[in-house]
Structure 1
Amino acid sequence: MARAVARRDRDAFVERTAFGLRLVGLLTFPAAFAFLVMSRPIIGALLQHGEFSASATITTSRALAGLSLGLIGYSIYLFALRGFYAHQDTRTPFLINLVQNVLNIILAFALVRTYGVLGLGVAFAVSYIIGAVVALYVLRIKVHTFPVVDVLVSLARMLAAAAVMGAVLWLALKPVGDNNGFGAVLKISVGIVIGTLVYLGALTLLRVPEVNGLRSASQRLISNRNSAGQQD
């Protein structure tokens, strides 16, 4: 991105920025919903040992669930700010950060009394989602050819696919395993397999073009491994 700006190649900057935003969404959105749905078994498998009790697992998993939603906006927000840094513009990101932080503080005070640590996570999530949208539209003002609407539509489709994945996981994992020990590991493992298949299927149904690139990369990886195995 910075090299494209240095060469004054606006088309290359727009192409790389838009592709980067879509790639970030493609990978982080399903991760966010996976953390949301599987927060209990994840914390149980990692931390519920010794003095770390089941009640501590519940409290910590609620924080993870809230913060996982923040990953959606946070990832897009940070990448969008890179567009300004590529232009050596630090003033605009500072102002956007200022607005986002003020909004985060207001929402945190409003939600923490009712929802506790989950409220802090939700405040984090909402403020970064709003900040990401603001950053993208301000970037559109700075670079008039930046396709903000197209990017947001693509991200919305990925978000819908990830939400479908999350709903299916929530239903499918209820009878599987447990929330601590080996049962938690089993639940997480099954969730990864089901989530991957459902997410790819939802992306295909929603006609998200980036899924073709993801499939091609997976096929190349499998092909390279097979070739390496044959050589051995």
Structure 2
Amino acid sequence: MSDSSLMRATTVMASGTFVSRLLGLVRVQLLTGLLGVSGALAADGFATANTVPNQLYNLIAGGLLNAVLVPQIVQATKHSDGGQAFLDRLLTISLLGMAVVTLVATLLSPLVPLVFGPSTGPGWDASTIALVVAFAYWCLPQVFFYGVYTVLGQVLNARGRFGAYMWAPVANNVVAIAGLVVMFVWIGGFNKITNPHPPSTWTAGQIAVLAGSATLGVVVQALVVMVPLRRMGFRYRPRFGFRGVGLGGAGRVAAWTFAGALMGQLGFIVTSRAVNAGGSLGGPGQNAYGSAFLLFMLPHSLITVSLVTALFTRMSHAAHERDTRAVRRDLSVGLRLTGVASVLALVGMLAVGDELTRVLFFKNSAAETFAIAAATTAMMLGLVSFSAQYLFQRAFYAYQDARTPFLIQIPVVLVIAATSFASARELDPDRVVVGIGVGMAAGYTVGAVQSAVVLRRRLGGLDGARVLRTYVRLVCAGLPAVAVGQGVSAVVHVLLGHSVGASLVALVLGGSLVLVVYVGVLRLLRVDELDELAEPLLRRLPGRH
């Protein structure tokens, strides 16, 4: 894949991710408006139950399948049959594994409130626990369909078809939003959102609509990726007989990835219990944490995930051909391009983050939106490191090395778990989620530094001088942009007050000037990566060829 093809693929994926995340924000707005943010036990219960399958997928299935599938599929194409038999067996064992994980997880639904519930404070009462368990029974089957989506999506990615994988979540969000709209009509519309809907009032039908629509969305997401596979002539036939067909290497990578996922899951349990502890004491809980994490993940998903998804396939080819120079080049490209977007996102959050959350979550109180903004900003401090670590991890996976990422993850999880534990016990309930965000940023930085040191030694360098020069210029562009954005915001509120409308004006004016100043300084400093990111988008404008 050439650099131009890489950027075209990134643009296609980023556009799908943008639409999906935009709908995701609408989904979160509806959910927070429906159930509240602070001290809302039904909100924390649903968020906990619906987060568990995401975590199982992200930390166990997602990482496992990403680490194994693309490098294995790339190698399988060298077989005489194009790798069809090997790929059928690889998909069969992956899907069987996902089915077992899903079945076990669903049967263990009654343990969800025990494992993920508040670590301190009064805890959850019987009606809240029952509601969480009911939500969990409906939500945990999502794990299997997330796995199907990932397995089939990685087959598309390995063959250079990236669009459907990033556009499928759009369908997921549409279905989930429809379910939330039904809930608004059923249990109270926008004029009744002050009612927190206590757990004891929920009926079986209401639980089924809210949690069932969330799960149905994931099912539809998995079905969407099947369409392009059939169009390209791919036909999957279950095959067994896994011995002696070259799956041993995949098994070793899978074992180490599973160990790392288990370590990450243990850390998430500590974090979840800390978040719910703050929520049970009247502070921001799972809904606030989830909203903040969604905002944190938005720039990462738009640029980093899209770019690295395409780079991962290219790095896997280069690693298979033992082309170390090409791997180093791709790492350098990835670090510099993702840095442009990651630093801009951090700058924007520091400048107008309060305005953004006030506008997005306009139905919530000022205190609740401030809590989301503070938590998002804390997490954003680690965005650059998080994106770099995501890229570094894929470089290890390209060499089918999951052992090193596991060892690197241990101190990362320990840092996040320790700070989450301390936040729940030492901070006021209103500040627990912020403390957790700071700990996450510290943990991501620890992981990125470790990975950079190891890869530099293994690859004979990381083009460090060029990457460092780029990041210094990005910081130089970001500082004045933050100052301008904050200044505009302050002036607008002096003139217009502190209404949601004033926040919207401050967001539009301040955000626009942040972008103008950031881009302008980067051009003055001759940061070429800006043009590399912008060109595929500009080419789509009328009159551009």
TM tier relative to shorter chain = 0.7 to 0.9
Could you state the TM-score of these two structures normalised by the residue count of structure 1?
A: 0.84
Q: Counterpart in 2 of 1:56?
A: 368
Aligned partners of 1:227 and 1:122: how far apart in 2? 43
Aligned match of 1:94: 406
Query: Which residue among 517, 523, 526 is the counterpart of 1:204?
Result: 523
Higher deviation after alignment, 100-109 or 212-221? 212-221
Task: Give ranges in structure 2 of 5+ residues lacking alignment.
Answer: 1-314
1:34 equivalenced with 2:34 (yes/no): no
Q: Does residue 148 in structure 1 map to residue 467 in structure 2?
A: no
Partner of 1:188: 507
CA deviation vs aligned residue, 1:55-109 (integer Å, no higher than 9, x gap): 2122222112212222221111111111111111101111111111112233444
Matches within 5 A, 1:136-175: 136-175=452-491
The Cα of 1:172 is off from its aligned counterpart by: 2.4
CA displacement at 1:3 relative to structure 2: 1.1
Counterparts of 1:93 and 1:181 in 2: how far apart (Å)? 44
C-alpha distance in structure 2 between counterparts of 1:211 and 1:111, whole Å? 38
Among 446, 451, 457, the residue aligned to 1:130: 446
Of structures 1 and 2, the one with the larger relative CO (CA 8 A, separation 6+) is 1
Cα separation, partners in 2 of 1:131 and 1:181, compared to 1, 3 Å: same
RMSD of Structure 2 on Structure 1 (CA): 2.4
How many pairs align?
A: 224
Label 1:206 to 1:134 Cα distance change in 2 as closer, same or farther (>3 A). Answer: farther
Q: Is the 8 A contact 1:77 1:128 kept in 2?
A: yes
**Are 2:540 and 1:226 equivalent residues in the alignment?**
no
Q: Is the 8 A contact 1:173 1:191 kept in 2?
A: yes
Q: Which amino acid aligns with 1:89?
A: D
> Residues 117 and 163 from structure 1, CA distance in 2 versus in 1: closer, same or farther, beyond 3 angstroms?
farther
The offset of 1:48, in angstroms, is 2.6
Note if 1:176 corresponds to 2:492: yes
Secondary structure of the residue that 1:175 maps to in structure 2? helix
1:136–1:148 contact (8 Å) kept in structure 2: no
- Contact kept? 2:381, 2:438, Cα under 8 Å: yes
SS at match of 1:166: helix
Among 30, 39, 43, the residue aligned to 2:357: 43
Structure-2 separation of matches of 1:111 and 1:162: 30
Question: Once superposed, which parts of structure 1, at least 4 consecutive aligned residues long, lie more than 4 Å away?
Answer: 109-112, 177-180, 214-219
Instruction: Supply the distance in 2 between the matched residues of 1:133 and 1:164 (Cα, whole angstroms).
Output: 27
Check whether the contact 2:455–2:461 (CA below 8 A) recurs between aligned residues: no
For 1:216 and 1:60, the matched residues in 2 are separated by: 34
Q: Which residue of structure 1 lines up, in the alignment, with residue 162 of structure 2?
A: none
**In terms of mean alpha carbon deviation, does 123-132 or 81-90 score higher?**
123-132
The more displaced of 134-143 and 144-153 is 144-153
The answer to whether 1:11 aligns with 2:330 is no
Q: Which residue in 1 is equivalent to 2:388?
A: 76
Q: Distance in 1 between matches of 2:528 and 2:516?
A: 17
